[in-house]
Amino acid sequence: MVTYHDDRRFDRVYATATVVMSLSQVGVPADSALLDRAMGFLRKTDPGAIDDRAATLLRLVIHDLTEDEELAFLSAIRAAVIEDEDSPLRGSMLLPQAPMASWNDSHWTSAPMHASGAAFHACHIGEALLSIPEWHSEARAQAREILSGIRRYLIRTLENHDGWLIDVNFRRTPQTLYAYSVLPGLAIPLPARWLENAEQLFRATSQASDRRFRQFLQVADAWYLYASVRDLTFRRVASEFAQDVLGQVSPGEIDTLNARDPAALLRAVAAAVLLVDERLSSIVTRAAMHAIPELEMG
C-alpha cells in the first residue's frame, strides 16, 4: 500500500495505517493476507521517530508494541510537549507532517491541518496512550504525566472557548469533533453545547468541497463520537452529513485526489456504513474478503 504524487515516507506510513484501521473497523480479520502484509510494513517503522507516529499509534492501540518501543515513543513525545506557561497550547504538542529536515519550512506552519495540530495531537496521542496495557507499568507511569498535561489543555481550552478547541491562529478548529469522542476516556464531561457545535461543524464542512481530506476525516470523527456517546439524535444528524459528503464525490474525482486522500476516503466510507446501519458492516466485510485475493493477484 503506497501513495502516489508526492510519495513521502510520512504519507506512505499514514496511508497504510489508515487503510489497516478502516478495514479492521468493518471487520476484516487481522490475519487476512492484505492486512498481514500491511502490518509487516508498519512493523518496520521506528517507534522513536516522530515521522513514523501513524504506525506507532496504531500499533499502540492494538497492543503490538513492546514496552521498550512504547518508552521510545513516549520519550519522543515528551520532548515535543509545549511547556511554556504563557502558551494556550500548554500540555499539547505541535508535530510536523514532514521529515525532520523540513520542520522549519513555512509550508508546515501555515498548512490548515497543521494549524490545528495541537488540538489533533492532544486527542490522538491522548487516546492512544490510554491503550498502554497494565503490565507495561513503566510505560504507563511515563504516559500518565503526558496524559495529565493533555487533559488540562483540553479542559482549559474547551472552557475558555464555548466548547471549542482552537488552532494556532485562535480560530475554532474542526478537530473539536474528534476531541468530543475522546473526552469520555479522559474522564472529561462533554461541553453543554456539544451537539449544537457538532451540527455547526457539519454545515460548514459540507460546504467545503475544496477540502476533501477534511471532509473525509470529519465523517470518520462523526462515527468515533457516536460510538463514544451513543446519542441517537447525533447519529441521525451525523448519518445525513456522511451521506451528503460522500454523495459529493464523483468516481472521476477519486483518480485526482491528493496523496493521503484515498485512504481518508476509505476511512470515511467505513465510518458512513457504521453510522447508517452497523449491520451493513458485515456485508462490507464479506465484500472486502472476496476482494482481497483479487488485490493480492493484482
Map residue 166 onto helix, strand or coil. strand
Give the DSSP letter string of 168-211: TTS-B-THHHHHHHHGGGGT-PPPTTHHHHHHHHHHHHHT-TT-
Q: Name the region of 181 (left: φ>0; alpha: ψ -120 to 50; beta: rest).
A: alpha
Burial class (CB in 10 A: 0-12, 13-18, 19+), 268: buried
CA 53 to chain centre: 11
- pLDDT, position 288: 55
Amino acid at 123: C
For the chain, domain boundaries:
45-192
Cα first-last separation, the chain: 12
Q: Over the stretch 152-184, which tens digit does the pLDDT of each residue have?
A: 999 999 999 999 998 888 889 999 999 999 999
Written as nine digits, the cell of 214 is 477534511
* pLDDT band with cut points at 50, 70 and 90 for residue 280: low
Q: Over the stretch 27-59, which tens digit does the pLDDT of each residue have?
A: 777 788 888 899 999 999 999 988 899 999 999
**199 has pLDDT over 90:** yes
